[in-house]
Structure 1
Amino acid sequence: MRTRNEHKEQLVKEKAIEMIVKLGFDGFSMQKLAKLAGVSPATLYIYYKDKEDLLVQLGAEETQRLTTMLLKDFSSDMHFEAGMRIQWRNRAEYWLSNPLKATFLEQIRHSHYRDKVYNAVSTDFVEAMSNFLQNANDRQELCPMENEVFWSIAYAPLYNLIRFHTEGISLAGKPFQFSEALMWQTFDVVMKALKQNKT
């Protein structure tokens, strides 16, 4: 029986993500991946049962890496603004440092692999965020709103800044580069929209 080679396996993962981002799931095949990674097709089947197994494992591994990063320095007991500040910092760090992997995760999220990937991932992040929002509501730090409204306001502005940065251009057609100053200026506006006005 052939043994796993960690270096080759890592290379296969990197090339698989590159191929999926470039060609999509329909353009991806084990044959093409083997050629791109410089390994024999038989080598891939040491690591994965088939194409679906590869995609689910890859998606689950990267989703878990993302959620671990999002929970860095974060606690569900934090006051709302402090916790949100850490969430914005962690999300920006991941998306700006891993643009290819972030794009891959977006593709997974909009594919039929989504449920299988999410079922293979720890629920720590979902539980932490649910508890965080419940605590913020209990302390009356948040304006009353539906969850979908909250998620749309809470993070979409950050992701738009990152999208402008990735594309290198603003809506006005001018060159655009992400900066912490712009991120925190946007964050302050989002906080005003979400926080309960107690005056």
Structure 2
Amino acid sequence: MRLRDENKELAIREKALEMIVKEGFDGLSMQKLAKAAGVSPATIYIYFKDRDDLIMQIFETENARMADITLDGFDPEMHFEEGLRIQWMNRARYCLENPERMHFMEQIRYSPFHERLQGASKSTFIHAMRTWAQHAIARGELVPLPMEVYWSVAFAPLYQLVKFHMSRQGLPGSKKFTLDEPIMNQTLELVIKALTP
């Protein structure tokens, strides 16, 4: 029996994530991954059952990392505006500091893996979000909305700004776009107005 080597496992995960971002899920083969990670194909199977298991484990790790960063300094008992502001700053930090990981999470979202991974969302994260939203509604700080509508209004503007920033371009025909604190605060104020009674 071969022993697990954390450094090798991490190298395999990182190379797999990099390959998926560059070439999509179809571009990830165990042979190519082994070569890129500097290991034998057999070594990959010490850590992962198969290609799908590897992808799902990468997602679970990244999903937990993203949840931890999003919840940094956040308390479900916070008032709505303060809690939303902290989440925006944390989510923006995660995306801007981890563009490749953000892209991977987007790819999962729009792939057949997403449905299979629905239950993998960190339950403490989901619980914190629900508790915070329910308390904000009970205090009259948040308009009652279906969660999909709430999420679209609350966070889609932030993610679109991040995408503009990362591409260094705004809309076609506009000049270079940079997401800075004043733009983020201005957008956040509009979102808060839209969501509060």
* TM-score normalised over the length of structure 2: 0.95
Q: Which moved more, 1:146-155 or 1:36-45?
A: 146-155
Q: Which residue matches 1:140?
A: 140
Q: 1:17 to 1:193 in 2, by over 3 A?
A: same
Structure 1 consecutive aligned stretches of length 4 or more whose deviation exceeds 4 Å: none
- Return the alpha-carbon distance in structure 1 between the equivalents of residues 143 and 120 of structure 2: 34
Q: 1:120 to 1:142 in 2, by over 3 A?
A: closer
Q: Which residue matches 1:174?
A: 175
Amino acid at match of 1:124: T
- 2:142–2:196: 8 Å Cα contact kept in structure 1? yes
Matches for 1:99-178 after TM superposition, within 5 Å: 99-171=99-171, 172-178=173-179
Q: 1:2 Cα deviation (Å)?
A: 1.2
Amino acid at match of 2:117: V
- 1:57–1:117: 8 Å Cα contact kept in structure 2? no
Amino acid at match of 1:184: N
Q: Which residue matches 1:195?
A: 196
Q: 1:148 Cα deviation (Å)?
A: 2.1
- Return the alpha-carbon distance in structure 1 between the equivalents of residues 122 and 169 of structure 2: 36
Q: Which moved more, 1:102-111 or 1:117-126?
A: 117-126
Q: 1:118 Cα deviation (Å)?
A: 3.8
- 1:60–1:118: 8 Å Cα contact kept in structure 2? no
Q: Which runs of 5+ in 2 are unaligned?
A: none
Q: Which residue matches 1:98?
A: 98
Amino acid at match of 1:166: M
Q: Which residue matches 1:40?
A: 40
Q: 1:117 Cα deviation (Å)?
A: 3.1
Q: 1:149 Cα deviation (Å)?
A: 1.8
Q: 1:39 Cα deviation (Å)?
A: 0.9
- Return the alpha-carbon distance in structure 2 between the equivalents of residues 47 and 119 of structure 1: 22
- Return the alpha-carbon distance in structure 2 between the equivalents of residues 41 and 24 of structure 1: 20
Q: 1:146 Cα deviation (Å)?
A: 2.7
- 1:74–1:87: 8 Å Cα contact kept in structure 2? yes
Q: Which moved more, 1:112-121 or 1:94-103?
A: 112-121
* TM-score normalised over the length of structure 1: 0.94
Q: Which runs of 5+ in 1 are unaligned?
A: none
Amino acid at match of 2:50: D
- Return the alpha-carbon distance in structure 2 between the equivalents of residues 121 and 81 of structure 1: 24
Q: 1:121 Cα deviation (Å)?
A: 4.3
Q: 1:145 Cα deviation (Å)?
A: 2.8
CA-to-aligned-CA distance 1:72-126 (integer Å, 9 cap, x gap):
1111110000000011011000000000001101111222222443434431111
- 2:88–2:158: 8 Å Cα contact kept in structure 1? yes
- Return the alpha-carbon distance in structure 2 between the equivalents of residues 96 and 133 of structure 1: 26
Q: 1:143 Cα deviation (Å)?
A: 2.3
- Return the alpha-carbon distance in structure 2 between the equivalents of residues 59 and 46 of structure 1: 19
How many residue pairs match? The answer is: 196
Q: 1:180 Cα deviation (Å)?
A: 1.4
